Structures are given as structure tokens and as C-alpha cells.
């Protein structure tokens, strides 16, 4: 008797925002307004997948998050996805620590890691990070991240 098994890979829909760091004397205005994304949030076992089809159809306000149980030094996944994406490396507190623009996951031939442990990879449509003025130090807010403490500089 055969029985169907539920896939161990699940995802959920979530809404996240990206905000510029607080204003300072050097930067009196935020570099962009609060950005809202509807995302497909996947657990870290998604790194074992050959592809995530959603990456092929990203729009200006959608994304895919691969979220780890704990911050880790994990390489960007090499998947059989040939549509370019912007890959944001996100720390445990939601801070963008690094951005790899216009990367084709199917063309990755070497390990690409952030300089520090990350809590998630956030994939958005290629070119959106530059067009929307998203930079390292911006903050991604969502239930999967601890709240970043205020920073004075």
C-alpha cells in the first residue's frame, strides 16, 4: 500500500518592510521611503532544492526569503535558476549586511558568503536594490527578525 508523504519543504506568505537607517547629521533624509514586500518565506532546508520557481517571476513588490533557525555563515545557494536576482544578506536583527546585485544563482561557481553570520537571504527582482536605493544598513522588518536597536552614529 503506497501512501503520499508531505514534503518537508514548506513556505508561508509574509509581509516585510525595508527602511533606511534613522536620519543623522551626515544623512538628514532617509535614502528611500519605507518599502513593502509580499514574500514567500522558506526555511533553511530550501537550500537543498534545485530551484525555487518563484524566483523567476519576482515583481517590484515581491520577494523570496530563505530564513535560518540561527545566524550562520552560509554560502549563497547555487540553484538551477537562471533569472537574475538581487540577493540581500540579512543579519539576525534585520539589518542588510551585504547586497549582491544581479546574481544568477545558476551561474554561481564559487562560495559567496557574507562577512558575518546571516539570518536570511532575501531575493528581490534584479535591479530593484539600485533602483529603490536599498543599501547595507537598511533594516528589514518582519516576524522572522529580532528588532534592531536604535543606532547613533
What pLDDT is recorded for position 132?
A: 96
d(CA 120, CA 44): 8
Query: Going by DSSP bridges, is the β-strand pair 96-103/62-72 parallel, antiparallel, or unpaired?
Result: unpaired
What pLDDT is recorded for position 102?
A: 97
What pLDDT is recorded for position 121?
A: 97
What pLDDT is recorded for position 5?
A: 39
What pLDDT is recorded for position 153?
A: 55
What pLDDT is recorded for position 29?
A: 75
**Angle at 9 (CA atoms; ends 47, 100), nearest 5 degrees:** 30
pLDDT tens-place values along the chain, 153 residues long: 444 434 454 778 999 999 998 777 676 677 889 999 999 999 998 988 888 989 999 999 999 999 999 999 999 999 999 999 999 999 999 999 999 999 999 999 999 999 999 999 999 999 999 999 999 999 999 888 866 556 655
d(CA 112, CA 150): 29
What pLDDT is recorded for position 43?
A: 92
d(CA 96, CA 89): 6
What letter does residue 37 receive in the DSSP assignment? E
Q: Are 69 and 81 in contact (CB under 8 A)?
A: no
Listed in sequence order, the residues at least 6 apart from 108 whose beta carbon sits closer than 8 Å to its beta carbon are 76, 77, 78
Quick one: how far is CA 115 from the chain centroid? 15
d(CA 95, CA 102): 20
Query: Could you give the maximum distance between any two Cα atoms of the chain, in Å?
Result: 70
Amino acid at each position: 500500500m503506497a501512501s503520499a508523504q508531505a514534503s518537508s519543504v514548506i513556505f508561508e506568505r509574509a509581509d516585510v518592510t525595508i527602511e533606511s537607517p534613522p536620519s543623522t547629521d551626515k544623512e538628514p533624509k532617509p535614502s528611500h521611503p519605507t518599502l513593502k514586500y509580499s514574500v514567500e518565506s522558506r526555511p533553511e532546508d530550501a537550500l537543498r532544492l534545485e530551484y525555487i520557481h518563484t524566483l523567476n517571476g519576482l515583481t517590484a513588490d515581491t520577494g523570496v526569503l530563505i530564513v535560518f533557525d540561527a545566524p550562520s555563515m552560509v554560502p549563497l545557494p547555487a540553484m538551477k535558476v537562471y533569472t537574475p536576482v538581487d540577493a540581500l544578506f540579512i543579519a539576525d536583527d534585520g539589518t542588510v549586511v551585504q547586497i549582491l546585485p544581479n546574481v544568477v544563482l545558476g551561474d554561481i561557481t564559487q562560495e559567496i558568503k557574507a562577512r558575518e553570520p546571516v539570518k536570511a537571504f532575501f531575493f528581490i527582482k534584479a535591479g530593484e536594490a539600485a533602483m529603490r536605493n536599498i543599501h547595507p544598513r537598511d533594516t528589514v522588518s518582519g516576524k522572522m527578525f529580532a528588532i534592531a536597536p536604535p543606532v547613533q552614529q
